[in-house]
Chains A and B, each alone.
Chain A
């Protein structure tokens, strides 16, 4: 009976967690679109509108919802780890296996990369964990654009962080974000891997220099049929990377230049050409059929 109850609680807790996460994401998206003066016609907008109609998301409603989530989390944690374990649940930053429900210390999120690297090299696991959280998805995406294979991209992302871990004491703050220090490591690993692959096989023809065509994974990841993302997926590799590094990752011209091994002037020209190519594709509806099969 105990195990049955535990399973049920775990299942319901997972559902609450997923639902609140989706709603939080949707709400942020709608807010940003409203702030930018854009209309909200997406599925996300629909979900949030429905939620607003049902609950009216004021502070008075969010607080009880948060309390319910925290209660479920605490209860689950106690059941899995013993009745006293839940007492230390809040305010800890330990992400060790089996502690996925722990609330993270918000202090680390506000620290600069420079400070976090200093602490990580001194053996502070939480500081390195924060750096990892900040950069891992961006490194993965950068690699995925180059290799066009999710498994290979995950493997190279892992290698990138392991290399970074070995060399982290060499990171020196020069106004360059940690991400801009990581990406060249990732890029070199990709290019080296592709060089080896070319040497080992004559059947390697991606038709796009060193950078692969956009992956199905990329296409499947886009939500709500955002045309601009479909057009982005159809751009050539270098152009796509400039756009993503500049406008999604928010890197400066100098940082993008450092990552791609180009001059700042070349990056500004590439940025213009890439945006112009995006515009042309959007206007002509010429998306190259890259994402159409994904619906």
Chain B
């Protein structure tokens, strides 16, 4: 019987596999046969979000970005603060 905990764990498992990029979607789904149909649909949505996400998202105006950056760089202390070790 399908449970909330079961599908949540299966989804998390498949997402981890996808994020690591080492396994095909089909292989992941076959590990969770009981949830195959629902997982397949959800993972497809995730892939779509990831593909289009960076460019579809709302962005602030270029003018705002430029002005804020200039303001922040003016505010940035010229002298080292506590914890300012070189990386």
Partners in one complex: yes
Give chain A's interface residues, CB within 8 Å of chain B. Answer: 25, 28-29, 32-33, 36, 38, 95-97, 100, 111-112, 114-123, 125, 128-129, 132-133, 136-137, 140-141, 144, 150, 153-154, 157-158, 161-162, 165, 168-172, 215, 217-218, 221-223, 226, 228-229, 232, 243-244, 247-248, 253, 268-269, 271-272, 275-276, 278-279, 282
Residues of A within 8 A of B70 (CB): 95-97
| Tally of chain B residues near chain A (CB < 8 A) | 48
Which B-chain residue is minimally distant from A97 (CB atoms)? B70
Contacts A123-B77, A247-B49 given; indicate if A269 touches B4 (C-beta within 8 A): yes
CB of B68 within 8 A of CB of A118, answer: no
Q: How many A-B contacts if CB must be within 8 Å?
A: 158
Please measure, in the bound complex, the distance between the C-alpha atom of A32 and the C-alpha atom of B56, giving whole angstroms: 14
How far is B7's CA from A220's CA once the two chains are assembled, in angstroms? Answer: 34
Contact residues, B63-87 vs A (CB, 8 A): 64-66, 68-73, 75-87
Q: How far is A129 from B75 in the complex, measured between Cα atoms in Å? A: 12
Using Cβ atoms and an 8 Å threshold, which residues of chain B touch A120?
Answer: 76
- Find the A residue at minimum CB distance from B54: A248
6 contacts between A and B (CB under 8 A): A97-B70, A100-B66, A137-B65, A226-B56, A271-B12, A275-B11
Give, as a whole number of angstroms, the nearest-CB distance from A248 to chain B. 4
